[in-house]
């Protein structure tokens, strides 16, 4: 992106503020964001939104290591039960609708042993809601495998939630993605 994408302006706030706003839900006990140790502006923005910034001593090389860091914190701080849930939500999906989160949590309450994943036009997206009993498996994945392999291993334990929100499948990686994001936001504000 050439600049910190999570701090890019989006509407009246920033990408990270929009994403964290979507995650405000009465059943979400805490929102934790793993932030590079040298990224004070992002740490401050996350804290300013009411979420908990975690800064490991070394920058995690991949998303998986960030998730592992967050899961260790959750285990130590909250002592979750195996049947509690954890929501994996990449921060670069800022147009995620709070209604998607509500639908996912409602479905997870019906099927707490299942993994809940939103789907847009047949394509799986983010976030994913896992039972905490699967957190230990993240640490045991082979070094060359990412978190998607957890979904493959537990393919028969997935409940897909169909949604009309393209935001679940759209992330922010390039300047073109950002331009599309701004255009989508303009369309939402106009309608």
Mean pLDDT for the chain? 93
Would you say residue 1 has pLDDT above 90? no
pLDDT tens-digit map of 85-95:
999 999 988 88
pLDDT tens-digit map of 100-120:
999 999 999 999 899 999 999
H/E/C letters for each residue in 89-130? Answer: CCCCCCCCCHHHHHHHHHHHHHCCCCEEEEEECCEECCCEEE
CATH node for 5-190: 3.90.550.10
Q: For the chain, give me the number of helices (H) and strands (E)?
A: 7, 9
């Amino acid at each position: 992106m050439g600049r910190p994408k999570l701090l890019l302006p989006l509407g009246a706030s920033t990408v990270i503020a929009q994403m964290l706003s979507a995650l405000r839900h009465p059943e979400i006990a805490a929102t934790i964001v793993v932030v590079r140790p040298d990224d004070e502006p992002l740490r401050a923005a996350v804290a300013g939104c009411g979420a908990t910034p975690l800064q490991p001593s070394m920058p995690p090389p991949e998303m998986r290591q960030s998730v592992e860091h967050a899961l260790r914190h959750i285990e130590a701080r909250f002592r979750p039960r195996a049947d509690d849930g954890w929501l994996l939500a990449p921060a670069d999906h800022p147009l995620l609708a709070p209604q998607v989160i509500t639908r996912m949590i409602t479905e997870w309450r019906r099927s707490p042993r299942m993994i809940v994943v939103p789907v847009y036009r047949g394509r799986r997206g983010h976030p994913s809601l896992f039972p905490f009993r699967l957190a230990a498996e993240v640490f045991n994945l082979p070094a060359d495998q990412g978190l998607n392999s957890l979904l493959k291993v537990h393919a028969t334990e997935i409940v897909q939630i169909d949604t009309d929100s393209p935001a679940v499948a759209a992330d922010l990686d390039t300047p073109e993605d950002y331009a599309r994001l701004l255009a989508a936001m303009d369309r939402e504000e106009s309608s």
